[in-house]
Structure formats: structure tokens, C-alpha cells
Amino acid sequence: GIQVEQSPPDLILQEGANSTLRCNFSDSVNNLQWFHQNPWGQLINLFYIPSGTKQNGRLSATTVATERYSLLYISSSQTTDSGVYFCAVDRGAQKLVFGQGTRLTINP
């Protein structure tokens, strides 16, 4: 089946820093989603981005489908950005395959 790899596994930054999270996938996909799991365990859908670039406030995402990767950018990090970021892909079937996540810690 398709493999999804996220890097780095852990990232610790100071408030105000910028960060880039990467998601590589092993085969062509129909769609890709980025999620944030906050410290309370809630999963929030950040982006639905099968290709191209989207921006939402301090967050933006770019997916280059032909090269099988996606990037999530977080600018001017805040402590509330802490948590685990997951990317998930599917190939048009019912199964959304999740990566193992990047744990982001933003220190004040």
C-alpha cells in the first residue's frame, strides 16, 4: 500500500519562529489533507490540498503531486501551534492513510 512519511518527527522552536513540515508519499494520490492534533487530542482539518498552494492566516501548504510531496509552513509560531501535525492521503478509495506525524513544540 501507499507509504506516507513525515519529517521531522519532532521539532522544538521558540515563539515567533517559522517552520516547515514535510510529507512524502510513495505513489500518486487523489487528495492530501493536513491535520493539527492539539494537546487536548482534538483533530482539526487545516488544508485539503491535492495540488498547488493554499494559505490560511499564518499557515500555508504546498503540494507538488508530480514529485509526491507536500509542505506545511507555519510562520510566526505561537504556543497554540503546539501539537502533532498529520498529513493523510488517499487514492480515491475510502481509505485515508495517515503519516506518523510531526510533533511541534513552541516554547514561549
- For position 86 contacting other proteins by CB under 8 A, the verdict is yes
Residue partners of 31: CB distance under 8 A and separation at least 6: 48, 49, 50, 89, 90
* Contact set for other proteins, span 14-43 (CB under 8 A): 30-31, 33, 35, 41-43
- For position 102 contacting other proteins by CB under 8 A, the verdict is no
What is the pairing mode between strands 102-107 and 10-14? parallel
CB 34 within 8 A of CB 61: yes
- For position 51 contacting other proteins by CB under 8 A, the verdict is no
- For position 57 contacting other proteins by CB under 8 A, the verdict is no
- The nearest distance, CB 101 to other proteins, in angstroms, is 7
